[in-house]
Amino acid sequence: MTVTIDTRIGWRDVARVAAGETLALSPAAWARVDNASHIVERIVEMGVRAYGINTGVGALSDTVVDRHSLSRLSRNIILSHACGVGELLAAREVRAIIAAQIANFAHGHSGVRADIVRHLTTFLEHDCVPDIPSKGSAGYLTHNAHSALVLIGEGSAQVAGKRMNGREALSAIGLAPLVLGAKEGLSLVNGTACATGLASVALARASRLLDWADAVAALTLEASGCQVAAFDEAVLALRPSRGIAHVGASLRRRLDGSALVAAALGKRTQDALSLRSIPHAHGAARDVFDNASDVVDRELASVTDNPAVSGTPENPIVSSEAHAVAPALAQASDSLAIAIAQISAMSERRMDRLVNPLVSGLPPFLASDAGSNSGFMIAQYTAAALSNENRRLAAPASTDGGLTSGLQEDFLAHPTAAANKLLSVIDNAEYIVAIELMAAAQAHDFLASTAERAKGTDAIHHGVRQVVPHYGDDRPLAGDIEAVRTLIRNEAPPAVR
């Protein structure tokens, strides 16, 4: 499948490209790219001072660069800005960044030549993945620079899983290194493509995780003998929220017809909050998710270059602005990280209730032979450790300080750091929800002779048992956790029939 950019694309499109689809531009989009490139050519011919076109960058913005040195300026910007460190980003994340960058160029206000866009689309088509270190961008520069290195035959990349230098990578996919023109070096490192691409991947993963969180919670609720009246539609409507309504409806569908729930009716006056307030916490996360989705889509609809070029080659306009700064994107990523950290903390609390013999009514720690077997005792430790790490990661990046470029850049929004942190929170949350799912399935194994599950929860139980069997202290639990986490990360929860 191919995603085609006409006027704009959204985060779901970027996520599709990240997962392996290709990207193309419509004739109208190509025309916008060409027009912007001609505008830059005209600005160079006129000799009008314009930031990043014929001046230095950052604190060197008032230093004029002569016409014969403009290509060298572009190349040097790439080389000097490629100073990222740390582990490399995953291929999925790199592809998302490239897709977001192409989308920005397709607005027709960057001024890069069509050849640059064609090279980048070819990267996606042939799965050429530049090596991009995960750390170093206070805003957006270093990640993009490492991707741009490969365009000029520098740096390194993986093609068909094989790592090679930039020149070899280009040759492997039938391309030659590019010689950059005026502004192209700045455009390649500029903008918010990095944070927007990473946020798009995070949204795709968060969307699936939220669905699993609801499904797993239903399985735990049933095993716990929940008081389902708390989730009645009329009761939840007393607190208006699209997210609460969505989660409440999901839980009712999953638990419909449950003999276990029916047998527990009136057993308690009300359930513990980690059970009773699932619609509120999960629903709040969904409301935050919807807002973050809107922010990322607006980012993809925006021009995020500085400067932006507009007008016509005959009447060129160059505008120095701050569209490459993305406070809204940073705040949205921070907010979603907080929301997911909260629902994963609640997941750990529910898991603890399943293994804790003081409240579960089940074998201690869900062990088949408590004493000689420890069951899920230490799996709860792991979930607690990950939950605590998420609490630390939930501290906002968007309020971090930092002064760069000799006080010229004296405010930093940190959208890339926020997006990276969000991905880390999702990593941990997937494990936590996986551990709850394993515990809930184990609890249901012990309840099998008590009463029948609902069809909606039985599908979840059956799905996890297709991946891992009942646990009897007969193997390391780590392998089971990885297997169930892979299920949650890669597949949607079974539908309610």
Residue 187 contacts by C-beta under 8 Å, 6 or more apart in sequence?
Answer: 52, 105, 110, 111, 112, 305
- The pLDDT of residue 255: 98
Domain with CATH 1.10.275.10 in the chain: 2-190
Q: Please state which of the four CATH numbers 1.20.200.10, 1.10.150.20, 1.10.8.100, 3.40.50.720 is assigned to the domain occupying 199-490.
A: 1.20.200.10
- The pLDDT of residue 318: 86
- The pLDDT of residue 414: 86
Domain with CATH 1.20.200.10 in the chain: 199-490
3-class SS at 416?
helix
pLDDT in tens, the chain (497 residues): 899 999 999 999 999 999 999 999 999 999 999 999 999 988 888 777 777 677 766 655 566 666 677 888 889 989 999 999 999 999 999 999 999 999 999 999 999 999 999 999 999 999 999 999 998 877 668 899 999 999 999 999 999 889 999 999 999 999 999 999 988 999 999 889 999 999 999 999 999 999 999 999 999 999 999 999 999 999 999 999 999 999 999 999 999 999 999 999 998 999 999 999 999 999 999 999 999 999 999 999 999 988 899 999 999 888 888 788 889 999 999 999 999 999 999 999 999 999 999 999 999 999 988 788 999 999 999 999 999 999 999 999 888 776 665 656 655 778 999 999 999 999 999 999 999 999 999 999 999 999 999 999 999 999 999 999 999 999 999 999 999 999 999 999 998 87
3-class SS at 395?
coil
How many C-beta atoms lie closer than 10 Å to residue 256's C-beta?
14
Query: How many residues appear in the chain?
Result: 497
How many C-beta atoms lie closer than 10 Å to residue 241's C-beta?
17
**Tokens for 456?**
């909606």
Is 381 part of the annotated catalytic residue set?
no
3-class SS at 447?
helix
3-class SS at 85?
strand
3-class SS at 82?
coil
The rounded distance, in Å, linking the Cα atoms of 296 and 50 is: 29
Phi, psi of 25 (to 5 degrees): -110, 145
Are 54 and 47 contacting, i.e. CB atoms less than 8 angstroms apart?
A: yes
Q: Please state which of the four CATH numbers 1.10.275.10, 3.30.56.10, 1.20.120.420, 3.40.91.10 is assigned to the domain occupying 2-190.
A: 1.10.275.10
Active-site position among 51, 140, 431, 471: 51
